[in-house]
Structure 1
């Protein structure tokens, strides 16, 4: 089998036989908490086929381990093969069938797959797994150290008038609820250890200084003279502030640095559009709305090259979204409160078809080239090509 010849790696693990069910459960859990993988029983660590004597017993033992020693139970594919006149059993963990992360063993261990081995997941990795499974919305959790003094009432008043067509005071008077209750209902205020704190969404949309507490919420924008990052830098800016202001400042940065060429027709000049502005705007807003804000060391990066625009968003793809179905409009809300607020403010559509309708279709119509999506490590990259010059 070609996979065995390739040796053990992030998605392939070899076991001579089942000795310790808890250890086998750990391998299965590690695959389930990562991107899936394949466990071979009857294969030495070096890839030599050892075979097994009773494949039926091994088959049943693996099924029992997945059901009884993996919590929640893992749904595997278990198959029997014959190689070099010896029987082996192959257990496959598919990411698509196992989305109830995080998984743990009956012994209480949460594992992930790192290279050729399984490792205990850190607390932050557990949070991110729960996020990807839709079990936890990080943007609704409290930001330690914040309070109402960090909340901009003027920004909230502007939003409130737009959303409810009345002042905050009128709303509170009519509903009979307190300001604290209103903010809690909107997932903008939380409580930890008896103290009121702004949620991540509350700070990002209405905070006085969001980057003081969440420096990763800024955008690094760079315009290059050439086609790669080694070329001269024409413009660079760290874009900070509340998310609505970041969106507007990113738009200004792109307008300033997209230098449209022109064709002279006698006394007339015809400017050539290099990009569809709606497409670029949707790309920026999507990155801001759906990035993983729990990644404290990573900000969104916008790169403008001579032949393309790139937005690099920390956190990869959430839940059931893949590089294939994202192009069809498949989406999962990693940041539920942020998405709702940006939708109310008019930056997003509630329909959820921005990628196929605005990014892909409009870019393709103008440049004749398909936008490209790519996962590099923990970063989702979107590449939009300019019109050829």
Structure 2
């Protein structure tokens, strides 16, 4: 596609009334003003930089000839005695990489010329020909400005835009000796895939897509899942989990174990997180491993808050996710698939959707993504203790209709005082067979009297 094709197909055409409305709203993340009462003010190069900056954020419009306070001062001509919109747009396209299509128009406002240059958000980072990468942010005073893009964020944007799965990136110099045998054993124990269980260590890692016959055979996904501590520090130094539990006696837990061991340990201690475990698992699965921050989990009497490094993938609507819409946009398809086969993470974006459905039926929690930003996703659950009591009251009539096995299983789970148990543990405590306990627990879950966490071998039950 050549430049003329791009320009003629571009859909944005600013009218005078729309420009007047933008001026009234003032500058923001998608609107910028620039004064040009003479050639000494903003030049063509600066226009190119600002348009690339807007494209790297939400897209937007640069209004040249409007002062920072919204006063229309008029735009001094760029090209002799006039401003040629096509020439200005061509300059932007020619001096950006990839070439950025913009719509440039000269519109008369209050008897003065204003040049409106508009672009849309660009999936791949846009640079100027002289090597600057900028994006639009609010500074500490809440004023919008163009700032340099952080290198880690820039890498993430390129990777996401070009469909590169980071977990398949070779780990230079790594060998099978850099992988923790205990982590591989834990994966093999938890997976319900009989084929994976039957493979030796190298065969299992090959089947997951993280080992091949190239000169650099070990992929970063193998390091993330099974890496020894030295390998993790070398290849994925930002892989950390911090849990700050402020209930009762405040405690802080830190871990940099490989994901296979870390997630297995979280599953065994799922009581700590209540309904929030899927959020922690989701953060560890889909975080940006190249942003120098840990996954941070804060828990107190009011709820749970998970901060995951890395912005929201483009196309993901967090409000839709909070409302229960299944959304699947993994940073690494291979890593997400491996964890789903392990039986801890859910596949196809259903984990948080299931959580949303559960909170609606049980009235147990409120899910929010308030506070998320370009560098991190923040997911919060607030405990709704009144909702739990109300739900329990509504379900009390169902207890009278339970079978003897179901009643025994329910009482056993309630006696755990908030802890969880597997179906085998419930069978042992009730004297039921494993099959009888499983059927009773399944019916109790369907009735909303108890909850289930985990999948396959990691499934546990709690009130």
TM-score, normalised by the number of residues in structure 2: 0.64
Superimposed CA distance per residue, residues 231-255 of structure 1 (whole angstroms, 9 cap, x where no aligned partner): x753321134221322233344451
Corresponding residue for residue 126 of structure 1: 154
User: How many residue pairs end up in the alignment?
Assistant: 347
Q: What is the rounded CA distance, in whole Å, between the counterparts of 2:212 and 2:46 in structure 1?
A: 40
Corresponding residue for residue 147 of structure 1: 175
Contact conserved, 1:111 with 1:120, CA < 8 A, in 2? yes
Q: What is the rounded CA distance, in whole Å, between the counterparts of 1:286 and 1:59 in structure 2?
A: 47
Contact conserved, 1:138 with 1:294, CA < 8 A, in 2? no
CA deviation after TM superposition for structure 1 residue 79, in Å: 5.8
Q: Does 1:48 align with 2:44?
A: no
Question: Superposition RMSD on alpha carbons, in Å?
Answer: 3.6
Corresponding residue for residue 96 of structure 2: 70
Corresponding residue for residue 21 of structure 1: 44
Structure number with greater Rg is: 2
Superimposed CA distance per residue, residues 271-297 of structure 1 (whole angstroms, 9 cap, x where no aligned partner): xxxx5x4xx23212111111111012x
Structure 1: 5+ residue stretches without partners: 172-178, 226-231, 259-274
5 Å-filtered alignment, 1:190-205, equals 196=216, 198-205=218-225
Q: Does 1:222 align with 2:244?
A: yes
Segment of structure 1 superposing worse, 58-67 or 34-43: 58-67
Greater strand percent: which structure? 1
Superimposed CA distance per residue, residues 361-386 of structure 1 (whole angstroms, 9 cap, x where no aligned partner): 21232236641112146221111121
2:363 paired residue among 343, 349, 367:
367
Which structure has the higher relative contact order (CA within 8 Å, separation 6+)? 1
Question: Residues 160 and 76 (structure 1 numbering): CA distance in 2 closer, same or farther, change over 3 Å?
Answer: farther
Corresponding residue for residue 322 of structure 1: 317
Structure 2: 5+ residue stretches without partners: 1-19, 387-463
Superimposed CA distance per residue, residues 344-370 of structure 1 (whole angstroms, 9 cap, x where no aligned partner): 1122333323322x1212123223664
CA deviation after TM superposition for structure 1 residue 129, in Å: 1.5
5 Å-filtered alignment, 1:1-389, equals 1=20, 3-4=22-23, 8=27, 10-17=29-36, 20-45=43-68, 47-52=70-75, 57-76=83-102, 81-95=107-121, 98-99=122-123, 101-114=124-137, 115=139, 116-121=144-149, 123-143=151-171, 146-153=174-181, 155-156=183-184, 159=187, 162=191, 163=193, 164-165=195-196, 167-168=198-199, 183=205, 186-189=208-211, 196=216, 198-209=218-229, 211-213=232-234, 214-225=236-247, 234-255=250-271, 257=272, 275=274, 277=275, 280-296=276-292, 298-327=293-322, 328-356=325-353, 358-367=354-363, 370-374=366-370, 375-376=372-373, 378-389=375-386
Q: What is the rounded CA distance, in whole Å, between the counterparts of 2:50 and 2:335 in structure 1?
A: 36
TM-score, normalised by the number of residues in structure 1: 0.75
CA deviation after TM superposition for structure 1 residue 120, in Å: 4.5
Q: What is the rounded CA distance, in whole Å, between the counterparts of 1:66 and 1:380 in structure 2?
A: 33
Question: Residues 377 and 126 (structure 1 numbering): CA distance in 2 closer, same or farther, change over 3 Å?
Answer: closer
Superimposed CA distance per residue, residues 287-325 of structure 1 (whole angstroms, 9 cap, x where no aligned partner): 1111111012x1111111212121111112113213234
SS in structure 2 of the partner of residue 333 of structure 1: coil
Contact conserved, 2:328 with 2:348, CA < 8 A, in 1? no
Corresponding residue for residue 174 of structure 1: none
Contact conserved, 1:222 with 1:233, CA < 8 A, in 2? no
Question: Residues 122 and 310 (structure 1 numbering): CA distance in 2 closer, same or farther, change over 3 Å?
Answer: closer
Contact conserved, 1:224 with 1:305, CA < 8 A, in 2? yes
Contact conserved, 1:37 with 1:92, CA < 8 A, in 2? yes
Contact conserved, 1:239 with 1:250, CA < 8 A, in 2? no
Question: Residues 134 and 336 (structure 1 numbering): CA distance in 2 closer, same or farther, change over 3 Å?
Answer: farther
Corresponding residue for residue 269 of structure 1: none
Question: Residues 205 and 341 (structure 1 numbering): CA distance in 2 closer, same or farther, change over 3 Å?
Answer: same
SS in structure 2 of the partner of residue 89 of structure 1: strand
